[in-house]
Amino acid sequence: MKILTGRFGEVEIDPARILTFNEGIIGFHQYTRFVFLPFLEGTPFELLQAVDQPDLAFVTINPFLFCEDYQFDAEDGDLQDIQIKNKSDLMIRVIVTMPQDDPRLMTANLQGPVLINEARLLGKQIVLHDCEYTTKHRVFPDAQAG
């Protein structure tokens, strides 16, 4: 199946890899079908691309790659929404904001992780309340503006 993307133009995707976000991504509830695409070869970043909106894509990363002690308790209802029975089946990604002028100053939204059940192809973004995490956690904390 071919889809149009804002970043890569027309790309071929496997329709069997389309993730369904029944509630969409926060702020974009009307878009419920997404697919992961490679973002930059040789990096841990992926693009969470909306299947039905070429200009809607989010750069994502595994939060444990830069925040080893990242932890939270997802509510049972959130896990049920994506049919997670065993937490080992849960994939977690966070959305990254990359400043165009200096990518070293990128931040990640640790307060709004994206939960994914890869086996069921279901996803959900949640908001963590009463936590130490922010929406603008520095991915490279030692980087200076330059």
Question: Rounded to whole angstroms, how far apart are CA atoms 128 and 117?
Answer: 19
Please indicate, yes or no, if residue 145 is contained in any of the structural domains: no
Q: What pLDDT is stored for residue 50 in this prediction?
A: 98
Report how many domains make up the chain. Answer: 1
Q: What pLDDT is stored for residue 86 in this prediction?
A: 84
Pick the residue with more confidence: 142 or 37? 37
Per-residue pLDDT tens over the stretch 81-98:
999 988 888 999 999 999
Q: Is 84 helix (H, G, I), strand (E, B) or coil?
A: coil
Please indicate, yes or no, if residue 131 is contained in any of the structural domains: yes
Q: What pLDDT is stored for residue 146 in this prediction?
A: 56
Least confident of 26-30, 44-48, 74-78, 91-95: 74-78
pLDDT band with cut points at 50, 70 and 90 for residue 145: low
Q: For residue 84, what is the domain's CATH number?
A: 2.30.290.10
Please indicate, yes or no, if residue 87 is contained in any of the structural domains: yes
Q: Which residue has the tokens 């894509």?
A: 57
Please indicate, yes or no, if residue 103 is contained in any of the structural domains: yes
Q: What are phi and psi of 79, to 5 degrees?
A: -65, -35
Residue 47 pLDDT more than 80?
yes
Q: What pLDDT is stored for residue 88 in this prediction?
A: 84
